[in-house]
Amino acid sequence: MYPLKFQPLLTPFVWGGQKIAPYKGIESKEKNIGESWELSGVEGLVSVVANGPLAEKTITELVKTYKGQLVGEHVYAATGDEFPLLFKFIDALRDLSIQVHPNDALAAQLHPGSRGKTEMWYVIDAEPGAKLYSGLTKSITPEQLATMAADGTITDVLACYDVKPGDVFFLPAGRIHAICSGCFIAEIQQTSDLTYRIYDYGRMGLDGKPRQLHISQAQQAVDYKVYDNYRTEYEPVPDEEVELVSCPYFTTSVLDLTLPYAKDLSELDSFLTVMCLSGNGTLEVDGEEISIGQGETVLIPADADDVCFIPVERMKLLISHL
């Protein structure tokens, strides 16, 4: 197989801005675009191939057809015909809701057939004063969670971080969090769209009605432990692969390249997904070249033996596999 690009799924939200389309170099008449789903196997929002002879095929169709050849034998054995990860760009013009996601066990209990949602954020850009919430600063009970959600004081017990480009946050299922205004983020997560809103500032949705809250589900989902630091610390190193997050659901590294960088994929037994955060260049996969530029995402199938990342101008990439 050869590397694949996909048609982005642009999704409007009440908190969305207008940065995504220009960032990706595409035209859109949509307003309030909050998210661009780059590669998704979520039912109802499944990505469609944009290049080559497989154009117009969905990622789900490809997984069913090519199985381990596309995603990796061990990946297919674990996740079957569902593509296991979801990749997004997120533009927050306004604060997102305070929310939490269930783990696999709770998702299966409350939503049979569904998976939980562990995710990570990479801050691509941040306006002056931009912040986000991740985790608790003090221990609370489920009853206190409900009370603080009702009276709007829930943010008083959340860790608040000023953010800058390059910041990384790992969000295991159960961690309360929210992206706030002025953040432009790349998000990598399990294939799941399960979100429990805890607090939404009393605002109306795009339909003019209050957005639904999910307090009882959130009470069950929240990890009530308090940790010292919720930011992922790492040391950037130009022209080297720097691992950011490694968990049971994905491993993600950053590449900040001014020089070509080769990676052996022959023993990986997984697809490799490449998100271009800035710059442009080419990917040479088993001798075949495909271009990649800012805002583009490329899927390298598991049967590839090697890839060389070749920057034309300085190129920053997130690369992920299972």
- DSSP for 114-151 reads -----EEEEEEEE-TT-EEEEEESS---HHHHHHHHHH
**Which residues, 6 or more positions from 164, have their beta carbon under 8 angstroms from its beta carbon?**
123, 126
- How far is CA 146 from each of CA 198, 243, 262, rounded to the nearest angstrom? 8, 37, 51
Known catalytic residue at 203: no
Instruction: Give CA–CA dist 250/318, Å, rounded.
Output: 12
DSSP H or E segment with residue 15: strand 9-17
12 near 32, Cβ under 8 Å? yes
DSSP 182: T
Instruction: Give CA–CA dist 163/33, Å, rounded.
Output: 21
Alpha helix ranges (H) inside the chain: 20-24, 59-66, 68-71, 73-79, 104-110, 142-151, 215-221
Write a three-state SS string for 42-55.
ECCEECEECCCCCC
Active-site option among 115, 175, 197, 211: 197
Which residues form the catalytic set?
197
